[in-house]
Structure 1
Amino acid sequence: MGRQVGAGIGEAVLATVVAVLVVALGLAAFSLVNWPAFNSSNVLRALTTVGQVGAAVLLAVSIALFRLRRARRWAKLLSWAGISAFVTVTLGLPLAATKLYLFGISVDQEFRTEYLTRLTDSAALRDMTYADLPPFYPAGWFWLGGRVANVLGMDGWEVFKPYAIGSIAVAAVVSLVLWSRLIRADWAVGVTAAITAVGVTYAAPEAYGAVIAILIPPVLVMAWGALYRPAELTLRTAAVSDGNENPAAAEAAGATAARDSGAAGLSGAATAGGWAAVLGTGLFLGLAATFYTLYFAFAVFAVVLMAVFAAGLGVRACYAARTPRRIAVQQGDAGQPVGGIGRAIGSPLLRLVVMGVVTALVGLPVFVPFLLRMLDNPKLESGGAFHYLPEAGSELPLPMAEFSLLGGLCLVGVIWLVLRASSSRRAQSLGLGVIAVYLWSLLSMLATVAGSTLLSFRLEPVLLVLLAAAGAFGFVEGARAVYQALNEPARFRWVAIVLATVGALAYCQNIAHVLAPEITTAYTDTDGDGNRADQRDPAAVRHYHHIDDALRAQTGREPSENVLLTGDTTFLAYYPYFGFQGLTSHYANPLADYADRSAAIEGWSELETPQELLDAMAAAPWRAPDAFLFRRSGDDYTLRLAADVYPNDPNVRRYTVTFPAAVFDDPRFTTTDIGPFSLVVVKR
């Protein structure tokens, strides 16, 4: 097991280095040219297509070398370079003329950028918005991004784009390394390419989620190899029923299962007994816990489902064996007799427990500060993050029923999953993953009765990558079956290759169309330098650096030492000031008393004198604002707040709170007008 894990980690590290170099060189090259905006010109779209063809050529050459069994080291290098180059050109070129990532600083990207800015300012685990609170949302991806920003000397908002693209590329090559240890190397390149293309299309806007989504398919195959090991149970049961166990037959059957699963190095019966796969699954689950809570919860759900199926199949095999008793007696690894049914249930349960221990060791450090603070605070707002039910969350996703290239690939995947369900461990593991998505979706819909959801609509990218993997296997095995059925015509292989190439390029060319709204927003939003990449007039964000200068000068403190009350929460995405109130309750820390804070702000707006306001701020149970950033409305100041109105869709109601200017007419406040803003600093 040590050799397997060490070799796998070593190869993953080398692949990561290659991916980082490809992304760094690619993005640096893109930045050397003054490109036209993607949303007003087709130049970047054309170059993206050229780049995708180049990446496809690298992948094709690597597949050819693997099949010819030549220059395997060069084949690996080309496959890593090809996958990372595909991610780089598909995401980097359309965004080459802007410093912002997909969705700019709008919608959910605002709070993500705020989180990255917070953890760029300091490596300490702190809440993205609120002072003196540990983070509730997993900090793993953002913490690593903060360290990248520190190394490169960049602001959080500026590092978001290269870091997001780089992390997706790294996840793709690590997925390729894992697949190559589970299945044939040439197949590994093809299935990873399919998963990466679909993941970039539908998961890339949520970059930290895309990293996990791309890794889920191979991890589920690995987890199934760890949990369901029929060669260790079924064959021994059959041998005992004959009264003469045949170790050679058991080992041969184990090798057959390993070849089918492709996991000779991770789940083969004659290698590490599946414990390397146990460790690998636990490490992935721990990583997922530190990156994305929803995907972590789903992955745990899927793995537990696998354990239940593995135990059930093991029990069934024991009863199916022809024994003189209902319970077969087997010879254990230590030479002690072990009950067949007990082993069938106990083996996957033990492996599941070990996975859980590894997961906890990796993931808990990120959550310990929050858990400790939660124990000290009996008042905990909960459920807000789950209060969202768009139309997509009220229906089962059925991509295989859509008339498109992706729909066709998913349909092929479904057919393959059904046909191979009893004979392929790959099909079993991916099929259980698909089942887990649909069960989660149904549970999410059922949870609406209790006034919440499980956010099942966010699992659609996971479903798509699972079906894309199945579709890639289905295409290869289906083409081979047709080839044999047609008496192996000489040109048929070229027909299959051309068909796969045309379909892949047609799909890849369409990725930019699917991501067009996200790309356009990256060009229409104003970046931290006060510029719009489409060369139009920038928004009020252009005044933010003047506001930052004024705050530093008037408070005499660094941004992270100040608490700011503002409705323009995008300011917090560019500068690491703490906010007195967050964007919405759905992204607010449950320890922050979001509703009570909003009520307090509304109460402050109704006060009439500066002293009343100062007294009310001093009496609040939270750290009071050091400054206010308002919008002017006549002689008054306004800021916008948000309220949770679930189950309505949209689930957020925006409303305006107005403060009379007279309440700040006091020497203890300093008021500065900057563009459409009024900055009020409390003298302390």
Structure 2
Amino acid sequence: MRQVGGAVSEAVVAALVAVVVGAVGLKAFSTVHWPAFNASNVTRALTTVGQVGTIAAVVVAALLVRARRSPWLAKLLAWAGISGFVTVSLGMPLAATKLYLLGISVDQEFRTEYLTRFTDSPALHDMTYADLPPYYPAGWFWVGGRVAHLLGMPGWEAFKPYAIVSIAVAAVLAHVLWSKLVRADYAIAVTLVTTVVLVAFGSPEAYSAVLNILFPPVAVLAWGALYRPERFGIGGPLLRRPGQDPSATTESAGGWAAALGTGLFLGLASIFYTLYFFDAVFTVCLMALVAWIALLRHRHRADPAPGALALVWPILLRLIVIGAVAGSIALLSWGPYLAKALTAHSSGGSAALHYLPETGSRLAFPMADFDHPLLAILCLAGTVWLIYRAADSRRAQGLGIAVVAIYLWSLLSMTVTAGGMTLLSFRLEPLLQVLLAAAGVFGLAEGARGVYRAFGEPARFRVAAVVVAVLGVVAFAQDIPAVLTAEIDTAYTDTDGNGQRADKRSPSAVSYYRDIDAALLAATGKPRDHTVVLTADTSFLSIYPYYGFQALTVHYANPLSEFAARAAEIKRWSTSKSPAELHDALAHSPWRAPDAFLFRRSGDSYTLRLAEDVYPNDPNVRRYTVTFPASLFDDPRFHTTEVGPFALVVVQP
């Protein structure tokens, strides 16, 4: 209990440090009028300076640990340096825009809409549809929405600082967890390197990034909970190396604290990101199977030798505890949806699994990624280390099983395409990169130690090794803006909720949203979250918390929304013969009908550009246009306002 209490206390302090560092850093960046990142190299240069400074703080922390001096100062420096690295690497390139990576485009559009929903209200609710509970896990977005509400910021504007600070907090929490599993200097090194890799490849999807950085230490933790041969007096290669102190690999309290920690992580994953949750569950179950097979293999070493059932029962008991903890947390987000699904009509499953890009049709091999040679070297070292130490290192076993689980998941994902779906394995590639990067740190550290001994332990070798390692980290880190070029450019070219583009060029039609919002409020006389709007310009719902009648695509739609039937109903409305017939059809809609339509004008007609699922094609979406004659709304029962290229039609009661 003392160990758990100490870890929790450290985690709280570390998180507070990360929040302060992130908030202060982002506030400082926002006080200066910077040039757009895609039009100047000024912010790129300052990003590099900030990265070098934060990495230097982390190096000093590691040196203090090695010297066994000022342990709390070392921790504070490590936390400040790691969180500062995240802040400067993402915050400085985005300093001249209010938008996060990818702006409010494509996937980031519905994510912003979700956060805006919870900025408006803490109630668990679908991001788009009125009267439906959420299908997509709400955890990360709910916290972000509540933070935005507390700060008095609109959701779209709070997205960037919240995303950056949340990744910074997750990174320092990963350090706290690593520090309970490995040597303090190793914990600093592996956290820094995995954070650098994560920011480069996983940061655009912030709500998965916070799980990604925690996944490697949790994999080691979960393996420690499930594989405990000492319980049966079994030693052997899968437990320790010859001559190693048995206590060095034996967690206290019989592994129950590790089981509890694993359950908490799975629960967090369940309310943050469904894919990572299922991959984590798959990984833990694979670990349980491997642990049982390993115990069966070595049970002859125990006296008396336990039976197969005696060996499996402790593993199952821990799995039950892990599942109970995770399930209890999962119900916080999934409970309302499951309750509704028992009585409501579903559209037949989620189309979110109907997506197979080219990257999802092949296995990912980061160790052969020649576009990023430093990453390839690191992951190759990790691969070699995982294989070499698979028999005698719990770290290698835990990380290795997690890596194998991703490859098995990828093969399974490709296999089930024959059945008309996928398991979205391509979205696990950033996780694979971080896992192999973590293994690479341990591999390079042990390799350097072996070379050091082979050369007769020369005095300056350690200094040279540290310098080379730090230079490698800096070289990789300063390339992060180049890796994220497309994502950063979109943040500058998208029009934000204030109707401005950060690159100072002419804004898109989004600049009219503010006038549309004012017209809607005036025409309806109702709060935004009491109004349902049918529009194809769904980024309007990302900026203002109106409900939508139809989602951007079926892949982001709640399965309970009956997306295809709604699309057919919209098409039927467009063929109405008169305003009276249309008004009557709206009054008898199977779902809550739109209170307003937001169209694009096209001559004497109003149009909606909608989407349908065409999986297994890639792209998996086909756009089509539904046209409403303007004469359908030439009636006192409809109030029409033209705003720029838009036609806003408010349905009168």
- Shorter-chain TM-score bucket reads over 0.9
Query: Which residue of 246, 262, 277 corresponds with 2:258?
Result: 277
Q: Which residue matches 1:247? A: none
Q: Is the 8 A contact 1:232 1:254 kept in 2?
A: no
Is this contact kept in 2: 1:393–1:457, CA < 8 A?
Answer: yes
AA at the equivalent of 2:628: F
1:441-460 paired onto structure 2 within 5 Å: 441-460=410-429
- The 5-angstrom pairing of residues 201-600 of structure 1 reads 201-235=200-234, 256=245, 259=248, 268-269=250-251, 271-318=252-299, 320-321=300-301, 328=304, 339-403=306-370, 404-600=373-569
Q: Does the CA-based 8 Å contact 1:374-1:380 persist in structure 2?
A: no
In the alignment, which residue of structure 1 is the partner of 2:79? Answer: 80
Instruction: Measure how far apart 1:252 and its partner are.
Output: 12
Give the Å deviation of 1:383: 3.6
**Structure 1 residue 676, shift from structure 2 partner:** 0.5
Paired amino acid for 2:550: Q
Q: Which amino acid aligns with 1:156?
A: G
Q: Tell me the distance in 2 between the aligned counterparts of 1:642 and 1:348.
A: 48
Map Cα deviations across residues 37-80 of structure 1 (whole Å, 9 max, x no partner): 00000000000000000001100000000011000010000000
Task: Say what the alpha-carbon RMSD is for the aligned residues.
Answer: 1.6
1:42 maps to 41
Letter of the structure 2 residue corresponding to residue 489 of structure 1: P
Name the aligned partner's letter for residue 207 of structure 1.
Answer: A
Query: Residue 657 of structure 1: SS of its match in structure 2?
Result: strand
Query: Contact 1:530/1:541 (CA < 8 Å) preserved in 2?
Result: yes
* Secondary structure at the counterpart of residue 392 of structure 2: coil
- Report matched runs for 1:60-99 at 5 Å: 60-99=59-98
The one-letter amino acid of 1:321's match is R
The answer as to whether partners of 1:231 and 1:254 remain within 8 angstroms in 2 is no
* Residue type of the alignment partner of 2:256: W
* 8 Å contact from structure 1 (residues 87, 168) kept in 2: yes
Q: What SS does the aligned partner of 1:274 have?
A: helix
| Unpaired runs of at least 5, structure 2 | none
How far residue 237 of structure 1 moved from its aligned partner, in angstroms, is 11
Is the CA contact 2:264–2:325 (under 8 Å) kept in the aligned structure 1?
Answer: yes
Distance, in Å, in 2 between the alignment partners of 1:254 and 1:13 is 38
Structure-2 separation of matches of 1:353 and 1:255: 32
Find the residue that maps to 1:622 and give its secondary structure: coil
Map of 1:652 onto structure 2: 621
Letter in 1 for 2:351: G
CA distance, structure 2, for counterparts of residue 235 and residue 142 of structure 1: 46
Q: Give the equivalent residue in structure 1 for 2:587.
A: 618
Amino acid at match of 1:353: I
SS at structure 2 position matched to 1:225: helix
Q: For residue 675 of structure 1, what is the aligned residue in structure 2?
A: 644
My pick for the range that moved more, 379-388 or 271-280, is 379-388
Could you give the per-residue CA deviations for residues 273-301 of structure 1, whole angstroms, max 9, x where no partner exists?
11100000000100010000000110010
Change in CA separation of 1:257 and 1:464 when aligned onto 2, cut-off 3 Å:
farther
- Structure 1 partner of 2:113: 114
Identical-residue share of aligned pairs (%): 62
- 8 Å contact kept, 1:234–1:314: no
Conservation of the 8 A alpha-carbon contact between 1:103 and 1:518:
yes
1:257 CA drift (Å): 5.1
**Aligned partners of 2:56, 2:312: CA distance in 1, in Å?**
48
> Secondary structure in 2 aligned to 1:607?
coil
Measure the CA separation in 1 of the matches of 2:267 and 2:586.
Answer: 41
- Quick one: distance in 2 between partners of 1:176 and 1:81? 11
Question: For residue 428 of structure 1, what is the amino acid of its counterpart?
Answer: Q
Taking structure 2 as the reference length, the TM-score comes to 0.98
Change beyond 3 A, Cα 1:255–1:224: farther
In structure 2, relative to structure 1, the CA distance for the partners of 1:463 and 1:257 (3 Å cut) is farther
Gaps of 5+ in 1: 239-249, 261-267, 330-338
Aligned CA distance change for structure 1 residues 580 and 378 (closer, same or farther; 3 Å): closer
Q: CA deviation at 1:619?
A: 2.0
Quickly say closer, same or farther: Cα 1:612–1:416, change in 2 above 3 A.
Answer: same
Aligned equivalents of 2:33 and 2:246: distance in 1?
A: 55
Question: Separation in 2 of the partners of 1:186 and 1:197?
Answer: 17
Distance in 2, Cα, partners of 1:133 & 1:496: 57
Amino acid at match of 2:342: L
**Alpha-carbon distance, 1:606 to partner:** 1.2
Cα distance in 2 between the residues matched to 1:531 and 1:20: 28
Q: What does 1:125-136 align with in structure 2 at a 5 Å threshold?
A: 125-136=124-135
What is the deviation of 1:490? 1.7
Going from structure 1 to structure 2, the CA distance change for 1:388 and 1:666 (only over 3 Å counts) comes to same
With structure 1 as the length reference, what TM-score do the two structures score?
Answer: 0.93
Is the 1:233–1:340 Cα contact (8 Å) retained in structure 2? no
User: Among 603, 615, 639, which residue is 2:572 paired with?
Assistant: 603
SS in 1 for 2:214: helix
CA offsets 1:330-358 (integer angstroms, 9 cap, x no match): xxxxxxxxx44333211111101100001
Q: In 2, are the aligned partners of 1:231 and 1:253 still within 8 Å (CA)? A: no
1:273 match: secondary structure: helix
The answer for the alignment partner of 2:32 in structure 1 is: 33
The residue number in structure 2 matching 1:158 is 157
Q: Name the structure 2 match of 1:334.
A: none
Conserved in 1, the CA contact under 8 Å of 2:99 and 2:496? yes
Q: 2: CA distance between counterparts of 1:503 and 1:152?
A: 39
Counterpart of 1:286 in structure 2: which amino acid? G
1:410–1:468 CA contact under 8 A, matched in 2: yes
Q: Secondary structure at the match of 2:422?
A: coil
Q: Distance in 2 between matches of 1:343 and 1:480?
A: 41
**CA distance 1:72–1:618, change in 2 (3 Å):** same
1:138–1:367 CA contact under 8 A, matched in 2: yes
Could you say what secondary structure the match of 1:135 adopts? coil
Asked if the contact 1:4–1:276 (Cα under 8 Å) also holds between the matched residues in 2, the reply is no
**1:244 maps to what in 2?**
none
Distance 2:87 2:624 in 1: 41
Contact 1:399 1:410 in 2 (8 A): yes
Paired AA for residue 412 in structure 2: L
After TM superposition, give the deviation of residue 667 of structure 1 in Å: 0.3
Q: CA deviation at 1:258?
A: 5.3
